[in-house]
Amino acid sequence: MTQAPLPQVGRTATFTVRAPASSANLGPGFDSLGLSLPLYTTLRVTPQASTEVVPLGHGLSSTPANESNYVYQAMLLAARRAGRPLPPARIEIESEVPLARGLGSSAAALIAGIVAGNELLGRPLDHAAVLDVAAREEGHPDNVAPALFGGIVVATLDKLGTHYVRLDPPAHLGVTVLVPDFELSTSKARAVLPREYSRADAVHALSHAALLAAALSVGRLDLLRHAMQDYIHQVWRAPLVPGLSDILESAHEHGALGAALSGAGPTVLCFHDTRSDTGRLHTYLHGVMTRSGLTGQVMDLPIDLAGTVVACPVEA
Ligand SMILES: Nc1ncnc2c1ncn2[C@@H]1O[C@H](COP(=O)(O)OP(=O)(O)O)[C@@H](O)[C@H]1O
Ligand SMILES: N[C@@H](CCOP(=O)(O)O)C(=O)O
């Protein structure tokens, strides 16, 4: 995370907060592994005498232009953790992150809001506290941690707090996402999961998540396909995401290093080697969409390294 220098008593002039999208789980790392992607939610915050919440652009037309907005509620969380009232401000919100697609739009809004609230208050919360407030609110740290720190993050949340390790992505690791044109709320996609798992499923999940984290940390791209196997969530969510089973089974035959449902879906993530052409993978993913009766976008993206960035526009 990058922060512009702070005046002594919080911010009195306009500042911006930019938080990235994220892809959580990466297969078996359910609720614990995620990476940051360069699509951004940006807040422009101007301290003034009263509060105004202004969502901008078509993508946010369904979000409220008042204090019930999730971004403003996130700002209040920072104030509550700091034990201080939130100073009033005009908050303009823009987002490139499509809502309810499994790309962490809610995590980007949450992190951006908490960081903006913290700035208005004079930064009483350190990075660990910002992460902890966000992880507790979201209920899992796998989107909010990469949204805050960038890169690839392995994180845990329990009653002792939120703990994490941030990894720089291995060389030559690129991401291709298939983003369908339909929404799937995270709460709906969590509701289909079983409450209990067998010991065999637990051992499968923890061994593959551990292998995946180790492979990502030492750059063993050859292990990704095997390590990304998962029976904790994808199999249950597959009926909600047409084409997912096909991609999990066959994407490696079309140039993917591994594939997973992105977060709770419906976006699907494939890893690719940035030294190879992804044309074959794109053709395959478009074919899956056509066969599944879907429309959507296929995009190659690098992994975002910066995480959340606070800046002061020159004119401020
Ligand atoms: N920039 C934003 N401003 C306000 N609310 C937002 C914003 N981004 C996301 N949200 C809220 O989060 C919801 C989507 O969250 P969720 O179902 O968890 O999906 P996602 O996978 O995109 O995080 C939206 O319907 C909206 O209520
Ligand atoms: N681990 C969570 C991740 C949800 O991510 P989102 O981007 O869909 O909000 C889950 O799988 O439910």
Is 90 one of the annotated binding-site residues? no
ipTM of the predicted assembly exceeds 0.90: yes
For ligand 1, is residue 111 a contact (CB within 6 Å)? no
Q: Is residue 81 part of a domain?
A: yes
CA torsion 107-36-103-82 (nearest 10°) is 0
The pick from 137, 140, 235, 269 for probing ligand 2's pocket by mutation, whose C-beta has the most ligand atoms within 8 angstroms, reads: 140
Within this chain, do residues 67 and 212 fall inside the same structural domain, yes or no?
Answer: no
- Whether residue 179 sits in one domain with residue 144: no
- Is 55 among the domain residues? yes
Answer yes or no: do 32 and 107 share one domain.
Answer: yes
Structure tokens at 58: 């078509």
Q: Is the CB of 144 under 6 A from ligand 2?
A: no
230 lines ligand 2 (CB under 6 A): no
Q: How many CB atoms lie within 10 A of CB 261?
A: 28
The total of structural domains in the chain comes to 2
Q: Whose CA is nearest to atom 24 of ligand 1?
A: 99
- C-alpha span between 175 and 270 (Å, rounded): 6
Q: Is the CB of 118 within 6 Å of ligand 2? A: no
Cα 87 to middle of ligand 2, angstroms: 31
CA 100 to ligand 1 centroid distance, Å: 6
State which residues form the domain around 295: 173-301
Together in a domain, 94 and 134? yes
**Same domain (yes/no): 194, 246:** yes
Q: Would residue 316 count as lying in a domain? A: no
Residue 144 sits in the same domain as residue 229: no
Q: Pairing state of beta strands 258-261 and 268-273? A: antiparallel
| H-run or E-run covering 98 | none
User: Is any ligand 2 atom within 6 A of the Cβ of residue 105?
Assistant: no
Residues 42, 110 share a domain: yes
Residues 197, 297, single domain; the answer is: yes
Q: Are residues 135 and 190 both part of a single domain? A: no
Residue nearest to atom 10 of ligand 2 (CA): 264
Alpha carbon of 257 to ligand 2 centroid (Å) = 22
Do the annotations mark residue 265 as ligand-binding? no
Domain CATH code at residue 132: 3.30.230.10
Ligand nearest to the CA of 96: 1
For residue 202, count other CB atoms closer than 10 A to its CB: 13
What's the rounded Cα separation, in Å, for the pair 1 and 238? 34
Per-residue pLDDT of the chain (316 residues; tens, 9 = 90+): 777 766 656 788 999 999 999 999 999 999 999 999 999 999 999 999 999 999 999 999 999 999 999 999 999 999 999 999 999 999 999 999 999 999 999 999 999 999 999 999 999 999 999 999 999 999 999 999 999 999 999 999 999 999 999 999 999 999 999 999 999 999 999 999 999 999 999 999 999 999 999 999 999 999 999 999 999 999 999 999 999 999 999 999 999 999 999 999 999 999 999 999 999 999 999 999 999 999 999 999 999 999 999 999 865 4
3-class state of residue 145 by DSSP: helix
- Distance separating alpha carbons of residues 245 and 239, to the nearest angstrom: 9
Would you state the structure tokens that stand for residue 74, as one six-digit string? 């996130």
Do 119 and 58 lie in one domain? The reply is yes
Cis peptide leading into residue 266 (ω within 30°)? yes
Q: Which two tokens stand for residue 303?
A: 């992994």
CATH code at position 189: 3.30.70.890
The verdict on 195 and 139 lying in the same domain is no
Going from the Cα of 237 to the center of ligand 1, the distance in angstroms, rounded, reads 19
**Domain match, 31 and 123 both:** yes
